[in-house]
């Protein structure tokens, strides 16, 4: 059962009071617990997680679109995927005191599931799915405005390093230099690219990746490692 | 320029009238056109596509969650990914007369981009992103209720075949049979699995995939091919 203390904390800190407390309970119920306690009739959080995943994706996309006008689509996408990932969501769940509230079965408890990042991510998504069902998108956005959005504004999820750009800047600090990435090998099933980086006609490094772009990044990273 | 005929059709068929027509224009503008016509000042659709992708994901997830109560999370996820894919969205775009309205650069026009499925998918997402910005989620849901949701209800996107289940049903029609999937090989970078299907101790087939699950499906598919 979600604790009274937690319910009170949701109210005082985030002004969240569930109209349907069953939804909150469901968001914190792992399948292992639901299986062990059929008498409670509480469903596990999986369907709420399915919905919450999409709720968070839109809330965060919308926030980025409206507040980072200068970023192009590629930069927005990279920033979104920095936010919407297991690590990040698990960290939020931890920060807001979610782990202690999760209804877990005995086996999973013993196996340390309470601190498992994928489970914490699931619960964070399910909680937002429940909040969306209970009070709509505005309530989710209000919760995120008190928790996640400030971290976005503080730059916590800024686009990760772009090695190709870094390398170009390093090589061209004294003027233009011809930089080429040549595909050496492209394997099928699943596709695996090997790319060769040629600077002014001289092979500098190689990189591998599941697509050309990733392989180029790896080649640039390797070149940076050699050059720095 | 989006044609007057199309604007009229949006109004009469779907009751959609954009408050900000610039958003509609942006949704139909490919980068190749924006680059060739900087004097128009119209941005390309890429940022609207970023947003529209998340808008559609939530609208469809929400619809499935509320209307397919009997499906579990795995079934909902499979159905969602059957709907939210390139083929499907491109088909919608085609059906609603989007291709003729796309602003394309000369090179892309010559290269046949107007019927390229990935481009049609992008424009369908961008259009829904524009509608969301212009009139909110309700307008998107209204549009989908006239176009996409009826196809969902008609079973067009029902969970695709699950070969493992099909094979199990076929093999076990006369009683229990031991079915094992053994990982033969697991390659790194990117991971590629080879799985061997063993039925009652006898190797029946092999399958490859980018993860174990996909490889198992392939093995089951191959076995079904041999058995049917």
Q: Would the pLDDT of A184 be above 70?
A: no
Q: Would the pLDDT of A41 be above 70?
A: yes
Q: Tell me which of B25, B108, B121, B125 is the catalytic residue.
A: B125
pLDDT on residue B213: 72
Give the tens place of pLDDT for each residue, B60-89: 999 999 999 888 898 899 889 888 887 889
CB-CB under 8 Å, A61 with B51: yes
- C-alpha A96/C-alpha A115 separation (Å) is 14
- Paired sense of beta strands B179-187 and A202-209, if any: unpaired
Of all residues in chain B, the percent with pLDDT exceeding 70 is: 89
Instruction: Tell whether domain A4-153 is in CATH 3.30.70.270.
Output: no
Q: Which long-range contacts link B202-209 to residues 24+ away (Cβ below 8 Å)?
A: B208/A189
CB-CB under 8 Å, A58 with B50: no
Q: Does A10 touch chain B (CB under 8 A)?
A: no
Which residue of chain A is at minimal alpha-carbon distance from B45?
A73
Q: Would the pLDDT of A176 be above 80?
A: no
Q: Would the pLDDT of B161 be above 60?
A: no
Does A3 or B193 have the greater pLDDT score? A3
Buried/exposed B157-187: b ≥16 CB within 10 Å, e otherwise: beeeeebbeebeeebeeeeeeebebeeeeee
Q: Give the residue-averaged pLDDT of A180-196.
A: 67
pLDDT on residue B191: 60
pLDDT on residue B3: 95
CATH of domain A163-227: 3.30.160.20
Tell whether residue A125 is among the known ligand binding residues.
yes
Of B46, B57, B77, the CB nearest to A73: B46
- C-alpha A134/C-alpha A125 separation (Å) is 14
Rg, Å, chain B Cα set:
23
Give the tens place of pLDDT for each residue, A68-86: 988 889 889 988 988 888 7
Of A58, A76, A192, the CB nearest to B58: A58
Q: Give the residue-averaged pLDDT of A33-42.
A: 89
What is the pLDDT confidence band of residue A154, given thresholds at 50, 70 and 90?
Answer: confident
Q: Tell me which of B25, B53, B101, B108 is the catalytic residue.
A: B53
Q: Would the pLDDT of B58 be above 90?
A: yes
pLDDT on residue A216: 78
E strand spans, chain A:
179-187, 192-199, 202-209
CB-CB under 8 Å, A65 with B50: yes
Q: Does A61 touch chain B (CB under 8 A)?
A: yes
Number of CB pairs, chain A paired with chain B, less than 8 A apart: 63
pLDDT on residue A168: 67
The reply to whether B4-153 and B163-227 are identical in fold is no
pLDDT on residue A88: 84
Q: Does B194 touch chain A (CB under 8 A)?
A: no
What is the pLDDT confidence band of residue A166, given thresholds at 50, 70 and 90?
Answer: low
Q: Would the pLDDT of B214 be above 80?
A: no
Give the tens place of pLDDT for each residue, A105-121: 999 999 999 999 999 99
Average pLDDT of chain A to the nearest whole number: 87
Q: Are B196 and B182 in contact (CB under 8 A)?
A: yes
Tell whether residue A49 is among the known ligand binding residues.
yes
Set of chain A residues whose Cβ sits within 8 Å of the Cβ of B60 = 54
Q: Give the residue-averaged pLDDT of A88-106.
A: 93
Q: Helix, strand, or coil here: B180?
A: strand
Q: Does B192 touch chain A (CB under 8 A)?
A: yes
Which residue of chain A is at minimal alpha-carbon distance from B60?
A54
Of all residues in chain A, the percent with pLDDT exceeding 90 is: 54
Active site residues of A: 53, 125
Set of chain B residues whose Cβ sits within 8 Å of the Cβ of A50 = 61, 65, 73, 76-77, 80
Which residue of chain A is at minimal alpha-carbon distance from B78?
A50
What is the pLDDT confidence band of residue B23, given thresholds at 50, 70 and 90?
Answer: very high
Of A50, A73, A210, the CB nearest to B61: A50
- C-alpha B65/C-alpha B77 separation (Å) is 10
Q: Would the pLDDT of B180 be above 60?
A: yes
pLDDT on residue A167: 66
What is the pLDDT confidence band of residue B118, given thresholds at 50, 70 and 90?
Answer: very high
Does B6 or B184 have the greater pLDDT score? B6
What is the pLDDT confidence band of residue A222, given thresholds at 50, 70 and 90?
Answer: confident
Q: Would the pLDDT of A203 be above 90?
A: no
- C-alpha B57/C-alpha A46 separation (Å) is 17
Q: Would the pLDDT of B190 be above 60?
A: no
Q: Would the pLDDT of A98 be above 70?
A: yes
Q: Give the residue-averaged pLDDT of B114-140.
A: 96
Average pLDDT of chain B to the nearest whole number: 87
pLDDT on residue B8: 96
Domain coordinates of chain A in residue numbers? 4-153, 163-227
Torsion of CA B24, B27, B31, B34, to 10 degrees: 0
Set of chain B residues whose Cβ sits within 8 Å of the Cβ of A46 = 72-73
Q: Would the pLDDT of A93 be above 70?
A: yes
pLDDT on residue A149: 94
Q: Does A46 touch chain B (CB under 8 A)?
A: yes
Q: Give the residue-averaged pLDDT of B25-44.
A: 92
Q: How many C-beta atoms lie closer than 10 Å to residue A129's C-beta?
A: 28
Q: Would the pLDDT of A159 be above 70?
A: no
């Amino acid at each position: 059962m979600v604790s009274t203390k937690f319910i009170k904390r949701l109210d005082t800190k985030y002004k969240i009071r569930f109209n349907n407390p069953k939804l909150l309970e469901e968001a914190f119920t792992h399948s292992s617990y639901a299986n062990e306690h059929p008498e409670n009739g509480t469903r596990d959080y999986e369907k709420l997680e399915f919905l919450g995943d999409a709720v968070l994706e839109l809330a965060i996309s919308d926030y980025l679109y409206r507040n980072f006008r200068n970023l192009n689509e590629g930069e927005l996408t990279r920033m979104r995927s920095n936010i919407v990932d297991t690590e990040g969501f698990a960290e939020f769940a931890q920060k807001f005191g979610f782990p202690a509230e999760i209804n877990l079965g005995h086996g999973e408890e013993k196996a340390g599931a309470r601190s498992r990042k994928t489970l914490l991510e699931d619960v964070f998504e399910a909680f937002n799915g429940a909040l969306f069902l209970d009070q709509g998108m505005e309530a989710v956005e209000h919760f995120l405005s008190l928790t996640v959005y400030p971290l976005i504004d503080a730059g916590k999820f800024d686009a990760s390093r772009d090695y190709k750009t870094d390398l170009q800047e390093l090589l061209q600090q004294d003027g233009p230099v011809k930089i080429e990435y040549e595909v050496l090998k492209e394997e099928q099933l699943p596709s695996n690219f090997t790319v060769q980086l040629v600077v002014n006609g001289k092979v500098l490094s190689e990189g591998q990746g599941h697509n050309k772009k990733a392989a180029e990044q790896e080649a640039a990273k390797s070149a940076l490692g050699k050059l720095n």
